[in-house]
Chains A and B, each alone.
Chain A
Amino acid sequence: MSAGTPSSSNTDHDQAAQQRRRYEELLREAESIKGVSLWQDAWRRLRRNRAAMISLGFLVLMSVSAVLTPLAPLQSPMASDLKNRQLKPPTLAAQTLTVGEQSLTDALQKFRAEINALKQEIASAEGEQKASLIKEVAERERRNHPYAALWHHPGFITSRLIDLRMMLFGNYSIPSICGSDGLGRDVLSRLFWGARVSLIVGIVGTAVSLLIGVSYGATAGYCGGWVDNAMMRFVDVLYSVPFIFVVIFLITILSQDDIKREYLEPYGIDQIMIFYVVIGAIYWLTMSRVVRGQVMSLKHEQFVDAARTTGAGGMRIIFRHLVPNVMGVVIVYLSLTIPAVMLFEAFLSFLGLGVSPPDVSWGLLINEGVQVITPIRTFWWLVLFPGLTLTLTLFALNFLGDGLRDALDPRMKNR
């Protein structure tokens, strides 16, 4: 074929396009078959690994209970009782939810009656008075609500979950079977609420690291040459730059009032979200190395050449063809990153760069516990229960990671 008249080039073009479409279709088909079989195969193998399956079950259970914590008949994680319950060992003595002197149901009833009375007033009021009454109701809903004292101004969804909990269990709550802490708060419920923070840190932080690490590593690995060299030197540099400065810098920049008002608050991003993202932004380094190594060994494989012949661009090859193929390794590595991120959160909180009360995380709970290990008297329940939960979770993640590695190992295929 020679480059001739426009018309002939057009038909050429059409033909080429048709051909490409066909190739692409073939490719897509091939990919989809291969993809499904790989994952199915891996799942089949994973299911046979008992330790990994138990771990998976445990993790799923943990995540579900973290999400549904407000629904569980737990005590308040923040209402402290210094006079009667400070540092009490685990007990089975019954506990009910109370606000001040009265039980929570009574308080709720009283509060709702007040609000209803006000609402009736609104119905009969006019003009300015009405507006001010509406404001008053809104203000009271937020400020005087009995939940505010027990769950620190819960958000809408959490409040509804607590409503449901009140309907199901009333004032009943599980006794302090894990004891109470230095301010007389129930350790069990703090563990559950802490799970929310710790698991979110683990997941969001890891997800951010995944996003940055995979795209960065894959790009470096695919481009190779000086681009790769420069990109990897940059990673080397970031490995060495003291992370404290990086964290403080990012947090300060992102929590400046004007930036916060303009870019973050409209999207509902708060301090703790920033913190999660910052952790992810620190943990992507190793991920990018792992991905780069994998991509480098894959990029001369035939399926990449095939994609290239069909005219796929660099970006497309990287994200459509290469990245899915390194996911196996990445998933295994993820199961190692999550625990590391969770421990890192504990360390940052210890330095004052992490979560603030009344939010609580497992790392903070363990820190509190470790501080009271003394030969004179040990408040063992303050270390044991948070330590056990964190260790079990990390254990589960490790076993699951091992299982996934075995399951995704191509040499184990069809075995």
Chain B
Amino acid sequence: MAAFLLKRFLWMVLTLWIVFTVTFFLMRAVPGGPFDGEKQLSPAIKRNIEKRYHFDDPLAVQYLDNLRRAAMFDFGPSLKLEDYTVNEVIAEGFPISASLGIFAMVFALTLGTTAGIVSAIKRHSAYDVGFMILATVGVAVPNFVLASLAVVVFVFQVHLFPAAGWGTVRQLILPALCLGAPFAGYIARLTRTGMLEVMGLDYIRTAYAKGLSHRRVVLRHALKGAITPVISYLGPATAGILTGSLVLERIFAIPGMGSHFIEAATQRDYPLAMGVTLVYTFLLFFMNTLVDVSYALIDPRIKLG
């Protein structure tokens, strides 16, 4: 276990470094710069700003300097949110995206697995058809359409939720549901497929033969075997969901991280773009490792290597 984690850790460091390098040079190869604006700066002022942020150094020097500071988790000041450092931006945005993501994920998992199990057990029943159509709708309707419609219905027709904003639990529910909907649909379908495969296997038959109750067989034995595809899907999905969604954050005016991914890039805020990219890389790696560990915990046949 320890050896596995150590190996993973080393891989992660290497990946982070490569991502850093690729992103660094890619950002600077793209036209436009952080100090371009609708109002053109005078060359003298631009030169001063560039000097202040060391943009006039040769690229290699900048690269090494940034790498050295990034290695100490210091991404420097944001170029476009001038009152903040990148670390502060992430520290403010991440918890919000994360808490929204956790709710969305819990909702997606609960609804998805339940629907999947019910559909699998009552195959070809009205439940099955209904759930699977719902799941497909969840996957197929773009979530910004879903969110816009949800606002009209649940805010203005039925006065259930506030229109937008952040700070109370009621404000959290609608965006979490919209964010979780496609994941719920996907999980439902994965669970159903997994369950259908497992239910035909010998060990389930053995479990029934032992006289265990239907409920116990399904929840303790079958689910364990059926859940693996869901878990491997959960890794990258969680990393994505925790880092937020631009469109939903805009529609619901939520101050999460998703907007930073896009805005830092479109405004060429190099340090912020780098910061959020590395956070995402880390999360992705962390989640994938977690998935591998959970595999080994659920299925005794799997060895960590």
Task: Show the binding face of A for B, using Cβ within 8 Å.
Answer: 233, 236-237, 239-242, 244-246, 248-249, 252, 339, 343, 346-347, 351, 366, 370, 373, 375, 378, 383, 387, 390-391, 394-395, 398-399, 402
Contacts and interface: CB of A to CB of B under 8 A. Distances in A.
Contacts of B152: 373, 375, 378
Interface size band for B: 35 or more
B18 A237 contact: yes
Contact of A395 (B27, B31, B136, B262): B136
Contact of B23 (A242, A347, A373, A395): A242
Contact of B281 (A240, A339, A378): A240
B156 to A, nearest CB: 4
B273 interface: yes
B26 A241 contact: yes
B142 A239 contact: no
B284 interface: yes
Contacts of A346: 142
B19 interface: yes
A114 B169 CA distance: 71
Given A248-B30, A351-B262, A383-B148, A240 B284 contact: yes
Given A249-B30, A252-B30, A370-B148, A398 B142 contact: no
B106 interface: no
A390 B145 CA distance: 11
A246 B26 contact: yes
A395 B141 CA distance: 9
Contacts of A244: 262, 265-266
Contact of B280 (A240, A373, A391): A240
Given A248-B30, A370-B144, A387-B145, A398 B19 contact: no
Contact of B149 (A240, A241, A373): A373
B25 to A, nearest CB: 10
Interface in B1-33: 11, 14-15, 18-19, 22-23, 26-27, 29-31
Interface of B: 11, 14-15, 18-19, 22-23, 26-27, 29-31, 136-137, 139-142, 144-145, 148-149, 151-152, 155-156, 189, 236, 247, 261-262, 265-266, 273, 277, 280-281, 284-285
Contacts of A239: 236, 284
For A245, A343, A366, the residue with the greatest tally of chain B CB atoms inside 10 Å of its CB is A245
Does more than half of chain A's interface fall in helix, strand or loop, or is it mixed? helix
A398 B277 contact: no
Nearest to A405: B193
Nearest to A362: B142
A398 B22 contact: no
Given A237-B22, A240-B19, A373-B148, A343 B30 contact: no
Contacts of B23: 241-242, 245
B262 A249 contact: no
Given A245-B27, A246-B26, A375-B152, A390 B142 contact: yes
B93 to A, nearest CB: 16
A202 B303 CA distance: 39
B277 A241 contact: yes
Given A244-B265, A249-B29, A391-B141, 20 more contacts: A233-B11, A236-B15, A239-B236, A240-B15, A241-B26, A242-B265, A244-B262, A245-B265, A249-B26, A339-B139, A339-B140, A346-B142, A370-B148, A373-B152, A378-B152, A383-B148, A383-B149, A390-B142, A394-B139, A395-B140
